[in-house]
Amino acid sequence: MNTPASVGTFVVPGTAVQMNDDDSLGRGVTEARDGPVATVVGTLNREEGVLFVDQQTDPIREIEAGDIVIGEVNRINAKTAEIRILHVEGKPVRTLPATHLFADIFVAKIVDKFMPSPGDAMRKRDLIRAKIEQLKPMLRAECRSHSDLGIIKAICPACGNNLVSSSAEPDVNVVCERCDYVGFRALSNGFGHGYEIPEDSEISELNRDGERWSNASMAFISKDGERPYLSPLSDHRRGSVHSTPKDVAKFLGGLQQGGGRGGGRGGGGQRPRREMHAAKCTMCGTDTKLPFEPTPGVPARCSPCKEKVDNGDASKDELAAERKVLNKAREGAKETMGMKLFIGGLPYATTEEQLTELFVAHGELKEVHIAKDKETGNSKGFAFVTYKSYKEGEAAIEALKGTKIDGRKLTIQESKPKGGRDRGGRGGGQRRNDRGRGRRDRR
């Protein structure tokens, strides 16, 4: 039998240790069948009658706020990019706990430039240097506070070749030397240099921080936080110089299958330019243009105000002032826009003709629609009736209060726009009715 290890001896798990009669067992030592043994690697020690092992292996390495990490872009969402952490700079390479394997980067924390979606500044498999700024409830990182933060390596989404930096074209800072891919990345000064960053590197200047996108580029980047796969420059699209896959073209609207227009950055697969509508920002009051026709009483913000709200930087006073503007516009447009009613508790056998007959007696109707299941075509038990006149809609609600069809009492009330605060009837569900049958039928 091996001689038990004495105090000061290096031990490994399973090493028998020498114990005095009055010793108690501390960390790294346990009682086995043949006597006490070590359970960790380290040096056997005794202090105030406690026998323990000074562990010499590093414990699990936890990330701290302010750490600089190297990560791989793992997922692109509408407003955040998820990175898988590969290394913590300045610390030994050790196993990370499960809660510290991934971090999110919010779109406003990527680069000092208007960026609707993270997919416009990075792609899956890009390597990025980022700074941890939040630990709980989940890790959050940023890469806009220092020029050394950002993408340090990127491969061409089309051919897999390493991308190189370029300043030859506005709003483009990376190109592929093998194919015709061009794009934009939130570049670090270390892009193309690996982990070592030359002191004189100024690659991050190609991000053109603080500059506006050119009018030509605005047709390529995401709009209004839309889902990344709807952007030609998004996460898993091949870039503006490659044809859009057929299974995605239907989302981009108006694209010809398998084709594409020439010119621009190489042509092919680009979505048509959106029609822009003149509007006045409901928050700051400045004139702007929007890719949708403004609706009275619904927020219509210029890009700076939209970014401010998305980032949570809008003050209570600004939001309160905007609400007043929206309420005033909504009241002013009531009569010309008419009133949309939500009809709940509808018997499933009820037809649109029956509803029309019931409601037309109280005013001129614009539309009657029963929500139906997309797969079966069966009624969902609710409908929408729109009057041309707001006053007639109000009168109909009062006149038809308590109405029953086939023994079922109907719920009749105004369909509130998104964000409405009516909590009566069917509760919070009415706040979604402005989205109407479109969203319900898509389910």
Q: Which of 7-21, 88-102, 105-119, 261-275 is the least confident region?
A: 261-275
Is 62 a domain residue?
no
User: In the prediction, which pLDDT does 59 show?
Assistant: 57
* pLDDT band, very low/low/confident/very high, at 138 (cuts 50, 70, 90): confident
Residues 355 and 414 in one domain: yes
Q: What is the pLDDT of residues 319-343, one digit of tens each?
A: 999 999 988 887 777 767 788 899 9
> What mean pLDDT is reported for the chain?
79
Residues 51 and 88 in one domain: no
- Tell me: pLDDT of 441 over 90: no
User: In the prediction, which pLDDT does 335 show?
Assistant: 67
- Tell me: pLDDT of 434 over 80: no
* pLDDT band, very low/low/confident/very high, at 265 (cuts 50, 70, 90): very low
- CATH code, domain with 129: 2.40.50.140
| 87 bridge partner residues | 70
* pLDDT band, very low/low/confident/very high, at 248 (cuts 50, 70, 90): very low
Is 251 a domain residue?
no
* Range 230-259 average pLDDT: 44
User: In the prediction, which pLDDT does 426 show?
Assistant: 39
Q: What is the pLDDT of residues 91-131, one digit of tens each?
A: 776 677 777 889 999 989 999 888 878 888 888 899 999 99
Q: Which domain holds residue 292?
A: 277-334
Token pair of 375 as six digits = 């797969």
**Residue showing tokens 């007959």:** 357
Residues 38 and 79 in one domain: no
Phi and psi dihedrals of 407, rounded to 5? Answer: 85, -5
The model carries a pTM of 0.44
Residues 91 and 194 in one domain: yes
Q: Which of 335, 230, 380 has the alpha carbon at shortest distance from 291?
A: 230
User: In the prediction, which pLDDT does 110 show?
Assistant: 92
- Tell me: pLDDT of 440 over 70: no
- CATH code, domain with 355: 3.30.70.330
* Range 161-175 average pLDDT: 88
Is 230 a domain residue?
no
- CATH code, domain with 23: 2.40.50.100
Chain-centroid distance of CA 320 in Å reads: 26
Is 393 a domain residue?
yes
* Range 309-317 average pLDDT: 88
**Residue showing tokens 């414990």:** 59
Q: What is the pLDDT of residues 375-423, one digit of tens each?
A: 888 898 999 999 988 889 999 999 999 999 998 999 999 887 654 444 3
Residues 184 and 311 in one domain: no
Kindly report the number of other CB atoms within 10 A of residue 204's CB atom. 23
Choice between 352 and 419, residue whose per-residue pLDDT is larger: 352
Residues 307 and 431 in one domain: no
* Range 130-158 average pLDDT: 91
Residues 108 and 150 in one domain: yes
What is the domain count for the chain? Answer: 4
* Range 266-270 average pLDDT: 40
Is 372 a domain residue?
yes
* pLDDT band, very low/low/confident/very high, at 429 (cuts 50, 70, 90): very low
Element (H, E) at 250: helix 246-252
Q: How many helices (H) and strands (E) does the chain have?
A: 6, 23
Choice between 92 and 183, residue whose per-residue pLDDT is larger: 183
Angstrom distance (rounded) from CA 337 to CA 140: 44
